[in-house]
Amino acid sequence: MSDYYQILGVSRDASSDQIKKAYRKLARELHPDVSSGDGAEDRFKDVSRAYEVLSNPEKRRAYDLGHDPTAPGGGAGGGFGFQDIFETFFGAAQGASAQRGPIPRARRGQDALVRLDLELSEAVFGARRELQVDTAVVCTTCQGSCCRPGTSPRTCDVCNGRGVVQRVARSFLGQVMTSSPCPACHGFGTVIPDPCPDCSGEGRVRSRRTLAVEVPAGVDTGTRIKMTGQGEVGPAGGPAGDVYVEIRERPHDVFVRRGDDLHCTLEVPMTAAALGTVVDLDTFDGPQEVDLRPGTQPGQVLTLKNLGVGHLHVGGRGDLLVHVDVQVPTGLDDEQEELLRRLAELRGEERAESRLSALQGGVFSKLRDKLAGR
């Protein structure tokens, strides 16, 4: 049994694409119309037989198990056919799409991506912004016809308006008719004898436009807003593409965004945290009273409902979370220090080092005595 992998020059674990690529390369080199060397025709037959087996999953599986599907009784059904051979010698571009006639001169324009920097407050409530964009618009001189006013396109003399030209190629299958885009009109079927002087026959010109963008509440960095039909006009006045506005949110000095919640830090004196107080906090909704209850602890988080960022598309808002940072006084004068000492005495509090020493004297001494067997 022939080694089909060796004939095609591929490994036994080669992919279908690798097998097809190897076959096409060898088929071009060994085809009788190209190669006149001794044994070229026999090698071409071997290569074709190898590809027939290895390009078909079922036949390849049988071959790997030791059966040759091309042998008498080895199975029927081709692993390749006319389409594979046709693509090998004439390329996949000669398909049905090249034979449908002239292609429209007017085509859809490209999409555009524009970046928009937003303040956090605009993301919270939404905003209306205006953008200046450089894009393609319909030529006002020719109105997209591509021709000088008073003239019109002319039928192509080479392809007679079909947009394609045909030629006869000789192959081992005989004479094959192939089609390709007309080189004179580029497949349009018409030519522009007198192009518009303002757009050079493009049917569109570059211009600066102002776009009004409605930014919904809840957008975040990376959010893209699609503006349908606001992109550049296509060639020959074709349909306009779309504009995608990508949001980039600027950092805020006070608030940090996490999802649709806002976070901020509120610094309060130690005495205010101990005694309790009411603090006015400036938010995007105006001043809000924050009630600090007596004994408020460092790191405590207070939640102000519905003062965060608007939920995108679903309504409602996130929350504002206030993180309390209790400020411990430093640089005390004698009177202030004496007052704190007096407070500690009244509360029965001891110094930290005294507690640590007592802890060490209690726990560590007991541990030491236990290890010593006392």
Binding positions for Zn(2+) are 139, 142, 156, 159, 182, 185, 196, 199
Cα angle, residue 163 at apex, residues 157 and 164 outer, rounded to 5°: 100
Residue 63 is encoded by which pair of tokens?
């071959």
Instruction: Decide the pairing of beta strands 277-283 and 286-292.
Output: antiparallel
Neighbours of 334 (CB within 10 A): 7
CB 102 within 8 A of CB 188: yes
Measured in Å, how far apart are the chain's first and last C-alpha atoms? 90
Residue 260 is encoded by which pair of tokens?
């649709």
Neighbours of 249 (CB within 10 A): 19
Rounded (10°) angle between helices 16-30 and 82-90: 70
What is d(CA 82, CA 87) in angstroms, rounded to the nearest whole number? 9
Residues at the binding site are 139, 142, 156, 159, 182, 185, 196, 199
What is d(CA 151, CA 239) in angstroms, rounded to the nearest whole number? 23
